[in-house]
Amino acid sequence: MTVTQALQNLTCYVNNEGLTPLFHTKTQIFCLSMLGGGLGILLMIPLRKYLVDQEHGRLAFPEGTACAEIIIAGDEGGTKARLVFMGIAIGALYKALQNMLKLLPESVNYDFRGLMKGGTMGVDATPALLGVGYIIGPRISALMLSGAVLGYLGFAPLISFIGNQIPDIIISPGTIPISEMGSGELRNFYIKYLGVGAVAIGGFVSLIKSLPVIFSSFSKGLGQLLGKKAESETPARTDRDLPMKWVLIGVLSIIAAIWLLPNTELHLIGIIISVVFGFFFVVVAARIVGIVGSSSSPVSGMTIATLLVTCLVLVYLGISGVKGMVTAMSVGTIVCIAVCMSGDIAQDLKTGYLLGATPWKQQLTEFIGLLFPALAMGFTVFFLNDAFGFVQIEGSNRTPLLAPQANVMATLVQGVMNSSLPWLPIIVGGMVALSIELLGISSLPFAIGLYLPLSLSTPIMTGGLVSYFINRYAKKDNKKSKNENGILFSSGLVAGDALVSVLVAFMIGTWSSYELYYDAHDGMMATMTGSLGPWVSLVCFISLAAVLGHLAWHGSIKKK
Residue that wins the pLDDT comparison between 435 and 442: 435
Task: Give pLDDT tens digits for 196-249.
Answer: 788 878 877 876 776 675 666 556 555 655 555 544 556 778 778 888 888 889
Query: Percent of the chain scored above 70 by pLDDT?
Result: 74
Helix (H) or strand (E) holding 13, with range, is strand 12-15
In contact, 306 and 277? CB cutoff 8 Å:
yes
pLDDT at res. 501: 75
Greatest pairwise CA separation for the chain in angstroms = 73
- What is the average pLDDT value for the chain, to the nearest integer? 77
Q: Is 471 exposed, middle or buried (0-12, 13-18, 19+ CB in 10 A)?
A: middle
Residue-wise burial string across 66-86, b where 16 or more C-beta atoms lie within 10 A, e elsewhere: bbbbbebbeeeeeebbbbbbb
Residue-wise burial string across 228-239, b where 16 or more C-beta atoms lie within 10 A, e elsewhere: eeeeeeeeeeee
Cα(97)–Cα(126) distance, integer angstroms = 11
Task: Say if residue 529's pLDDT is above 80.
Answer: no
The neighbour count for residue 528, using CB atoms within 10 Å, is 10
Q: Which of 8-12, 209-213, 286-290, 508-512 has the lowest mean pLDDT?
A: 8-12
pLDDT at res. 218: 59
Whole-Å CA distances, 277 to 9, 336, 481: 18, 10, 42
Task: Give pLDDT tens digits for 329-356.
Answer: 888 888 888 888 888 888 888 888 888 8
Cα(284)–Cα(214) distance, integer angstroms = 12
String of DSSP letters for 326-352: HHHHHHHHHHHHHHHHHHHHHHHHHHH
Task: Say if residue 491's pLDDT is above 70.
Answer: yes
Domain ranges of the chain: 3-56+140-473, 61-136+480-560
Best-predicted range by mean pLDDT among 105-119, 180-194, 451-465, 496-510?
451-465
Whole-Å CA distances, 313 to 14, 270, 273, 307: 20, 10, 9, 10
Residue type, 490: S
Model confidence, pTM: 0.70
Task: Give pLDDT tens digits for 43-82.
Answer: 888 888 777 877 777 777 877 887 787 787 766 666 677 8
Whole-Å CA distances, 346 to 120, 282, 283, 286, 366: 34, 10, 10, 6, 11
Confidence category of residue 452, pLDDT binned at 50, 70, 90: confident
The residues that bridge with 59 in the sheet, in sequence order, are: 56
pLDDT at res. 12: 43
Residue that wins the pLDDT comparison between 418 and 170: 170
pLDDT at res. 1: 42
Cβ-based neighbours of 321, under 8 Å, separated by 6 or more: 417
Confidence category of residue 360, pLDDT binned at 50, 70, 90: confident
Task: Give pLDDT tens digits for 397-420.
Answer: 545 554 545 655 676 777 777 776
